[in-house]
Chain A
Amino acid sequence: MIGYREITEYLSDMFVSILGTNGLDFGFSQDQNEWAIAERQAGAAMPNATTVLLFRIDEYNNWSNRQYGQSSHSIDQYGDETIYELRTFKCRVNLMSKQLGGAFDAARFIIANLRNDRYNTFVRQKGRLLGIESVSKMKNLSNLENGTWTERVCFDIQFNFREEITVHNHTLFVKVPETLGDLAQSVEVNVNVTK
């Protein structure tokens, strides 16, 4: 099973790898931990960063149980159940910057690099956990911002991955006794006889 934490860590690493050595040019923090942040972690204004990338996993298409869909389901001989399903989701990326153009440039840079060597290098190193289905066009949402951040650019990346959930309901078996005297180690029957 691929957990939420695994997906967000993967995405965070992916954005950091894509920005790479160029990250500082766009005004990202000296500390790479502050570059790409899963949205539920973002609270405080970050004094060290001029630009920041916030993302969230949204629109859990196909995360329901598709009884007649592309899922498959099997039970092995020991009673372990495995459910396979192609899951898709949308990663909504918001780039925020305190300086005009920082978010805009970084967004264009990331979208461009999602189909070049930097992305391929990242996949070679970390494995292809997620497949990219499509990347949406950028939207300028700067007029929603009126505080610390002056610029906000948004785009979506549609991802998919293969879900494999294993349910460990092992069936255990009774130990076979060799003699009648061994039966107590296999089946314990308590008989209460009354008159």
Chain B
Amino acid sequence: MASNVINIREFVDVSTAVASSPTNVSRDWSAVLFVQKGTDAQATVITKYDDLAAVIAAVGSNTEAAKFAAQLYGTSYDGISLNAPLYVAEIGAADADEFIENFMALLGDERFYYIALDTLFTDAMKKSAVSLNEANQSGVSHKLFVDDLSPLAFNSTLAADLGNGANASISAFCAGAKCKQCMVAAVNPSNTNKYYSAGMIAYFATREFAATSRCMATIAHKPASGISPIDFTDSGITVSPDDAWKNLDEKHANAYINVKLVGLSAWERGNTPAGDDVTAYISADYLNYTISVSVFQLLQSVPRLAMNENGASLLANTLDGAFNKLYNAGIIGPGVSLDGESFGGRGYHYSIPTPTGVKRANGLWDGIYCSALLQSSAKKVVIGNVLKK
């Protein structure tokens, strides 16, 4: 239907900063956690499922976990669907306090990277989850995907939406807080397939960091088979589709919509609520993780790593290996960063000074600094096909 088609195509990428993510965390980059509302005051139960059939066999098809899993495993990109475990955590959430307590405990877990929330949680709980996840980045970093089914997100501008205070939509709440570690998926209010977040997670979780063909790239303008675009003619939406989209766009909400320019349904934006491309953060997490694991493996493989030139060259080889892996996957590359630092060759440089002082005596090799230039993130603002940056 014509009125449901959005004629717009643009990248928005507002910041050069990429938040530092924690290193030294072992995680499964494709694994997903679905947080499900359990009975009040129950102890948290985490179950691991390997595919959709396993979820349905265990809990039946009419559960939120199964609905989420159906979207997650059913959405494919270029014919590739998720082949990774889904953890379902059933938590007691009688009120916001209980939710916060149980959700916080989950954030310490290293087994998964992507987190999504049951739509049965109240908006207040979802907002708490967003805040907790933002605050927890110095521990184990996770990316939180939240569905926003509120009509306010579509019908109100950001300012008007934020004016509702505690009743503001999740999109507006996250945009107001400039969150960088979560993504908001707009869902039309009466949609029964509520988990658009699962469709987004499926995209990121099917990326392969070691291959150029499926490297980390923005989700913007990527068509997903398995989900249908959101319906701007939904009864809850009272403004025109163009206005609804403008309102969502202002809040940096992501939406799966019909795009006239592309001619088919595709994701729009791929941003965090702060406006940055989320791939920058996921790539940065993966980069830190790769370096940590490589260095860890080096320390396990040699009897002793001497703190001298020989040790430095071993470390240099290891760092080269880690960075080259990312270069080969197209995540980093040569060029000039938005703030003017130039990167030659393979898009990275580092320094490894021989350690001195107390830290040296304690067996800590400190002072290693690496810089890398991300390629995968959207680096330009393109509005109406005009290059702006």
Contact = CB atoms under 8 A, between A and B. Distances in A.
Interface of A: 79, 171-177, 180-195
Main secondary structure of the interface of B (DSSP, over half): mixed
Interface stretch (B29-37, B223-231, B287-295): B287-295
18 contacts: A173-B306, A173-B307, A174-B363, A174-B365, A175-B363, A175-B364, A186-B364, A187-B368, A189-B319, A189-B368, A190-B369, A191-B287, A191-B370, A192-B369, A193-B20, A193-B287, A193-B374, A195-B16
B299 A191 contact: no
Contact of B24 (A171, A175, A184, A195): A184
Given A174-B299, A193-B18, A193-B283, A188 B364 contact: yes
Nearest to A172: B307
Given A173-B306, A180-B24, A194 B373 contact: yes
A192 B284 CA distance: 9
A187 B369 CA distance: 11
Contacts of B368: 187-190
Nearest to B365: A187
A189 B363 contact: no
B304 A173 contact: yes
Given A184-B23, A188-B366, A189-B291, 7 more contacts: A177-B299, A180-B25, A183-B295, A191-B23, A192-B372, A194-B18, A195-B374
B291 to A, nearest CB: 6
A194 B365 CA distance: 24
B299 A186 contact: yes
B56 interface: no
Q: State the main secondary structure of chain A at its contact with B.
A: mixed
A191 B348 CA distance: 10
A3 to B, nearest CB: 27
B24 A174 contact: no
Interface residues on B, range: 35 or more
Interface in B157-211: none
A176 B300 CA distance: 7
Of A173, A185, A192, A193, most buried by chain B (CB within 10 Å of CB) is: A193
Max chain A Cβ within 10 angstroms of own Cβ: one of B18, B292, B341, B370: B292
Contacts of B287: 191, 193
8 smallest beta-carbon distances between A and B, as pairs? A175-B363, A194-B337, A174-B305, A173-B304, A188-B366, A193-B284, A193-B18, A192-B371
A195 B13 contact: yes
Nearest to A181: B24
Given A194-B16, A195-B377, A186 B372 contact: no
Nearest to A190: B369
Contacts of B364: 174-175, 185-188
Contacts of A193: 18, 20, 280, 283-284, 287, 371-374
Given A172-B307, A187-B315, A177 B365 contact: no
Contact of A194 (B292, B296, B338): B338
In this complex, which of A182, A187, A195 has the most chain B Cβ atoms within 10 angstroms of its Cβ?
A: A195
A190 B295 CA distance: 13
Contacts of B296: 177, 180, 183
Contact of B339 (A176, A183, A194): A194
Contact of B370 (A171, A174, A182, A190): A190
Given A171-B306, A175-B364, A176-B299, A191 B20 contact: yes
A177 B362 CA distance: 13
Contacts of A171: 306-308
Contacts of A79: 308
A57 B49 CA distance: 86
A180 B300 CA distance: 10
Interface string B328-346: 0000000001110100000
Interface in B247-272: none
A122 B86 CA distance: 86
A175 B362 contact: yes
A141 B311 CA distance: 63
Contact of B280 (A175, A176, A192, A195): A195
B221 interface: no
